[in-house]
Structure 1
Amino acid sequence: MASHRSDFAVLLRAWRDRLSPADAGFTMTDGRRAPGLRREELAQLAGLSVDYVLRLEQGRAKNPSAQVVGALSRALQLTRAERDRLYRSAGLLPPQDGTVSTHVPPGVQRLVARLGDVPIGVFTADWSLVWWNTTWSALHGDPAVLPTAERNLARALFGNGAAHASMLPVRSERGQDAFAESIVADLKDAVSRYPGDAQLDRLVRELREISDAFAHHWATRTAAAQHTTDRKTIRHPEIGDILLDCDVLIVPGADLRMVTYTAATGSSGAGKLDLLRVTGGRTATALP
């Protein structure tokens, strides 16, 4: 086990030094001593404390959880093979085939980071949010303030926890019922493709128990359209109502959804997005 911890610490430091700050969405400055990420930046991306990352790199923190290793893998933009190596170095089994993948390919992460003018969030097949850029946080609030399990759109819509409590008021042009039906339809599709995923099964069972609306949509036999595109009015606590086009882009081969919000040049929505980018929307705390 001591060897595992040593290998984990070495890999963590090496891969942090390798990752360009620009590829992770940070601004390059002349004062940087090394080309890689700072420890504080890795902690921010992974949603961990700087002290905990330091203890991991020094081999003093024992037995990081699969959740922590997964967050670090995404933050470090590891390939699948590298991700699996990091899991094994922590004494854990890598994620198995047949379950909903939370792996975000490095190219997708670089794209999200570099398209900083557009709010982008990356979701898994069960609508868990696993990656986002700073403009997304400015629009919806920083997802890092929520427990990892609560960063889920279905929980935001139908749950009774932190995700639901922090969700900003959103009006869908398609109608809220149609939007809700489409999310449930996506979950049904995910269950059919990942029947052995215990976490997905728990999510569905939990929402069926606590939400009459979810249970109703789940029991409906009529096929609903999957969530792909919409126009939404988001009520931001600082900026007010923002009308934006919402598009869902499928990432081939990764079973991920990239959700983007844009507005036509010169529109009120574009002006408010510009304002959000300047102010950072720091007082908002919400999930879309």
Structure 2
Amino acid sequence: MTVPRSGFGALLHAWRDRLSPADAGFTVAAGRRAPGLRREELAQLAGLSVDYVLRLEQGRAKNPSAQVVGALARALQLSRAERDRLYRSAGLLPPQDGTINTHVPPGVQRLVARLGDVPIGVFAADWTLVWWNPLWSALIGDPTMVPAGERNLARAIFGNGAAHAAMRPVRSERDEDAFAASIVADLKDAVSRYPEDARLDDLVRDLRGASGAFAHHWATATAAQHTTDRKTILHPEIGEIELDCDVLIVPGADLRMVTYTAATGSSDAGKLDLLRVTGGRTATEPSAR
């Protein structure tokens, strides 16, 4: 028996059918029948289980959280108006003006998906990771292994939770204390622009209580945006990789696109090529199923 779809589920299914797998970063095999994303592909992009996506589409799962709806909106590459419609169909208020925007415009998502030879992570103004491509996962580690609420660079640096435990060793060309201070200064800049954002307020309060280093930098740093750096990442399979780390601001969206690149022909570029082929796995490591 076919289960009738709810308004929310019907929107999910229609927008899933509309999105090109190539625009979402998937390789399209010959003879593929699905007109858009498969259900398991949407689940992978949104960090949800396939069964939960199925139940949402069929209307058997009720009252998805704002975090789930936001993840689905980003995965489906919705416009802002479509995102707001999805929130309302779930019985939720869309994100309000004056709060940090975690919506990634479709054009930015397509850009990240198509620049497959460059590790790219997209961060909100509070340094929450909201989008990434496969090479980012291979270099930095799979973000889906960290709970969505913990995927934050400041929590990785100063916290003591899952993000900190999952963070791979990274050495900045600058003094490490200066790098940490620059992230705090960037957060102070975000606070000045989003004084009513409750999530940002919770982040700062949590880290001031959990980390003496964060509290010190918060008391002494001057608000300023974080910029470029040169970093050495210790990868568990490839070893040390020295890369230029650039931070590109997306105008109008207040997002940060963080990219890692190496000079063409260098040994570090060769290591990135190896990561692109292997996905960061050794030849003997089994693929995820």
Q: CA deviation at 1:125?
A: 0.2
For residue 271 of structure 1, what is the aligned residue in structure 2?
270
The 1-side partners of 2:35 and 2:269 are apart by 34
Structure 2: state its 5+ residue gaps. Answer: none
**Superposition map of 1:87-102 within 5 A:** 87-102=87-102
TM-score norm. by structure 2 comes to: 0.94
Structure 1: state its 5+ residue gaps. Answer: none
Q: CA deviation at 1:96?
A: 0.6
Change (3 A) 1:233 1:224: farther
The 2-side partners of 1:139 and 1:44 are apart by 18
Does 1:254 find its partner at 2:253?
A: yes
For residue 43 of structure 1, what is the aligned residue in structure 2?
43
The 2-side partners of 1:92 and 1:279 are apart by 41
Does 1:241 find its partner at 2:247?
A: no
For residue 109 of structure 2, what is the aligned residue in structure 1?
109
Code of the residue aligned with 1:275 in structure 2: it is L
The 1-side partners of 2:226 and 2:270 are apart by 26
The 2-side partners of 1:143 and 1:34 are apart by 27
The 2-side partners of 1:65 and 1:159 are apart by 25
Residues 230, 243 of structure 2: 8 Å contact kept: yes
Q: CA deviation at 1:146?
A: 0.6
The 1-side partners of 2:281 and 2:194 are apart by 37
**Superposition map of 1:1-288 within 5 A:** 6-220=6-220, 222-223=221-222, 226-282=225-281
Moved over 3 A (4+): none
Q: 1:156 aligns to what SS in structure 2?
A: helix
The 1-side partners of 2:95 and 2:32 are apart by 35
Q: CA deviation at 1:282?
A: 4.0
TM-score norm. by structure 1 comes to: 0.95
Greater RCO, 1 or 2 (C-alpha within 8 Å, sep 6+):
1
Residues 186, 225 of structure 2: 8 Å contact kept: yes
Q: CA deviation at 1:34?
A: 2.4
200-209 or 222-231, which deviates more: 222-231
**Matched residue pairs, number?**
279
Task: Report the RMSD for the aligned CA atoms in angstroms.
Answer: 1.3
Q: 1:86 aligns to what SS in structure 2?
A: helix
Q: CA deviation at 1:175?
A: 1.6
Q: CA deviation at 1:23?
A: 0.3
The 1-side partners of 2:176 and 2:167 are apart by 14
28-37 or 118-127, which deviates more: 28-37
The 2-side partners of 1:26 and 1:175 are apart by 39
Q: CA deviation at 1:226?
A: 2.8
After superposition, the C-alpha distances for 1:139-164 in whole angstroms (9 at most, x for unaligned) are 01110111111100000000000100
Q: CA deviation at 1:100?
A: 0.6
Q: CA deviation at 1:187?
A: 0.4
Code of the residue aligned with 1:99 in structure 2: it is T
Q: CA deviation at 1:224?
A: 6.3
Residues 46, 72 of structure 2: 8 Å contact kept: yes
Residues 181, 224 of structure 1: 8 Å contact kept: no
Code of the residue aligned with 2:72 in structure 1: it is L
Q: CA deviation at 1:80?
A: 0.3
Code of the residue aligned with 2:232 in structure 1: it is T
Q: 1:235 aligns to what SS in structure 2?
A: strand
Q: CA deviation at 1:252?
A: 0.3
The 1-side partners of 2:66 and 2:31 are apart by 35
